[in-house]
Amino acid sequence: MAFKSVEELLTLSQTENNPLWQAVLIDDITDRQVAESESIEKMNYLWGKMQDASKNYDGNQRSNSGLVGGDGEKMKVAIKNNATISGSFISEVISEALKMGECNACMKCIVAAPTAGSCGVLPSVLITIAKANKISDEEIVKSLYVSAGFGQVIATRASISGAEGGCQAEIGSASAMASAALVFLKGGTNEMMANACAMALKSLLGLVCDPVAGLVEIPCTKRNVIGAINAISCADMALAGITSKIPCDEVIDAMASVGNLMASSLKETGEGGLAGTPTAKEIVKRLNIKKD
């Protein structure tokens, strides 16, 4: 049936007296007519695949075009050398987000969350917090239901496709989903999750989808980093009691409206923004990509 609003999701969780993650789980098993164990097993499988992708990262791998690869490793070296400004937790998240984005560009196996281009946001924060705070797989899986619930509302009211809504719909949505998941893992309330989701989406509103040469490489890989860091800062704000003055559903609607207003050259066509820069055009020429 899919949740049509965050308000509906919060109300259902409250009236049925179920935690939010469970409301999402119950909705899934009703929708797909499957056993609870089957749904949880599937979510657990996705979590396993996210961790596998991180473990199988190879700093020497390069994408088909040769444009992407090796940055996650560079970040790791910097962490090892204690050379980062942001400290170990944030630096780990940066490295994980880069690693996942690079795995995707290099045709490795990833979990679209919600898309392939934004596949680094959610796993980078979850893998890092699970390790740092010794969180069980069971709790992480619950947090994935939380993120999917908010993601579902975003997909229903707005979009999770760069071609439809720009990068705000991909990295923005991933960031909002991850932020809500983090609030859950830190024991925040449903309202805090909604606030985190709203603030994360608000902060990336207007982000355009301008892939160089039309490939899911530049700037997609590195945008996973801002999605992840934004998720953490918004989760921290929400947990501190800071609220979004614009309610979450209205923020999602605003994202849809910004997406509609966005020029098509900024929606995955590989024309405007970074894709239109002289260097990008040089890259297109070098890769010998034919243009209409």
Closest CA to 168 of 277, 270, 266, 274: 266
Q: Shortest approach of other proteins to residue 87 CB, angstroms?
A: 29
Q: Shortest approach of other proteins to residue 157 CB, angstroms?
A: 11
Q: Shortest approach of other proteins to residue 266 CB, angstroms?
A: 16
Total number of residues that touch other proteins (CB under 8 A): 55
3-state secondary structure of 32: helix
| Among 5, 12, 49, 84, contact with other proteins (rule: CB under 8 A) | 49
| Among 75, 129, 215, 229, contact with other proteins (rule: CB under 8 A) | 215
Q: Return the ∠ at Cα 258 (arms to 97 and 2), rounded to 5°.
A: 70
- Stretch of 58-66, 79-87, 129-137, 249-257 contacting other proteins, by CB under 8 A: 58-66
Query: Phi and psi (nearest 5°) for 209?
Result: -105, 100
CA 266 centroid distance within chain: 20
Report if residue 233 touches other proteins, rule: CB under 8 A.
no
What is the CB neighbour count within 10 angstroms for residue 290?
A: 5
What residues between 92 and 121 interact with other proteins by CB under 8 A? 103-117, 119
* String marking each residue 160-189 x if it binds other proteins according to CB under 8 A: xx-x-------------x------------
Question: Using N-to-C axis directions, what is the helix angle for 248-261 and 190-203, rounded to 10°?
Answer: 20
Provide the phi-psi class of 2: left if phi over 0, else alpha when psi is between -120 and 50, else beta.
Answer: left
Q: Are 267 and 208 in contact (CB under 8 A)?
A: yes
Binding site for other proteins (CB under 8 A): 2, 24, 27-28, 31-32, 42-43, 45-46, 49, 63-65, 103-117, 119, 122, 144-145, 147-149, 151-152, 155-156, 160-161, 163, 177, 213-217, 270, 287, 289-292
